[in-house]
Amino acid sequence: DADVTQTPRNRITKTGKRIMLECSQTKGHDRMYWYRQDPGLGLRLIYYSFDVKDINKGEISDGYSVSRQAQAKFSLSLESAIPNQTALYFCATSDSRTGLNTEAFFGQGTRLTVV
Amino acid sequence: GENVGLHLPTLSVQEGDNSIINCAYSNSASDYFIWYKQESGKGPQFIIDIRSNMDKRQGQRVTVLLNKTVKHLSLQIAATQPGDSAVYFCAENRSGGSNYKLTFGKGTLLTVNP
């Protein structure tokens, strides 16, 4: 399912480098999210956006920033990558038109390694 | 630094048996719950959801039970198949109104033995 596409799928970067993870969706959803997944810790919310003008911090936003360039695009940046940001990152979308309670649809993930 | 090797809860079943995966949630104000399945190398995929005004919902081979009294959610998979092997996450919507965002549990690894 390529409705939510993340690029790159894998990335190795050096400590201190700036890196951007991209997410685009063709589902027409207004809400987009970035999650981080670490072994044994499940998925934790980094940032979320309910529309183009709306950006909100999640539970672990320190060291990250986001940009909602258009309804279909939501990018995550690590301003100065550090090794403990090595993780699997997921973008997700949901549709407010289906009601307040609705499932999120996930991309395939980006595996980021900071060395 | 590196993550400490925290281990997922695991459940191992024989093909054809029924599986029950449990989840405890902490926020009594949560009003919507979802079960996701995550196969290796893939993103989480929606399985089934339930709203807090229900205590049971059935899908194809899956049933979700919600016990609000003890804040417990379970996923039952009937006639488990090798393709059901994956990590299963429960997720809750912790706040009402427009502030919708899902909070995920740590996951349970289900292994189906042929």
CA distance B32 to chain A (A): 6
| Tokens matching residue B63 | 């049933």
Q: How far apart are CA B8 and CA B103, in angstroms?
A: 17
pLDDT tens per residue, range B4-39: 335 678 999 999 999 999 999 988 888 899 999 999
| pLDDT the model gives residue B20 | 97
Q: How far are the Cα atoms of A20, B15, B29, B103 from residue A59, in angstroms, in the given order?
A: 20, 38, 18, 10
In b/e form, how buried is each residue of A19-32, taking b as 16+ CB within 10 angstroms? bebbbbbeeebbbb
Question: B105 to chain A: which residues are within 8 Å by CB?
Answer: 42
| pLDDT the model gives residue A37 | 95
| Tokens matching residue A104 | 């999120």
Put simply, the answer to whether B1 touches A84 (Cβ < 8 Å) is yes
| pLDDT the model gives residue B95 | 53
CA distance A39 to chain B (A): 7
- Give the residue from B34, B93, B101 with the most A CB atoms within 10 Å of its CB, the best one to mutate: B101
Amino acid identity, position A115: V
Put simply, the answer to whether B44 touches A103 (Cβ < 8 Å) is no
| Residues 58 through 77 of chain A touching chain B, CB cutoff 8 Å | 58
Q: Please give the average per-residue pLDDT across B94-109, as a whole number.
A: 74
pLDDT tens per residue, range A28-73: 999 999 999 998 778 999 999 999 989 999 989 999 999 999 999 9
Q: How far are the Cα atoms of A69, B24, B32 from residue A103, in angstroms, in the given order?
A: 23, 19, 9
Q: Please give the average per-residue pLDDT across B27-52, as a whole number.
A: 92
Question: A104 to chain B: which residues are within 8 Å by CB?
Answer: 34, 46, 102
| pLDDT the model gives residue B96 | 55
Q: Is A39 on the interface with B (CB under 8 A)?
A: yes
Could you give the dihedral angle defined by the CA atoms of residues B88, B53, A94 and A77, in that order, rounded to the nearest 10 degrees?
Answer: -60
Could you give the dihedral angle defined by the CA atoms of residues B26, B17, B45 and A21, in that order, rounded to the nearest 10 degrees?
Answer: 80
Residue carrying the six token digits 């190795």: A12
Put simply, the answer to whether B100 touches A106 (Cβ < 8 Å) is no
Q: How far apart are CA B5 and CA A2, in angstroms?
A: 32
- For residue A101, what is the nearest residue in chain B, using CA coordinates? B32
Under the banding of pLDDT at 50, 70 and 90, the label for residue A101 is low
| Tokens matching residue A24 | 């685009």
Put simply, the answer to whether B102 touches A104 (Cβ < 8 Å) is yes
pLDDT over threshold 70, residue A81: yes
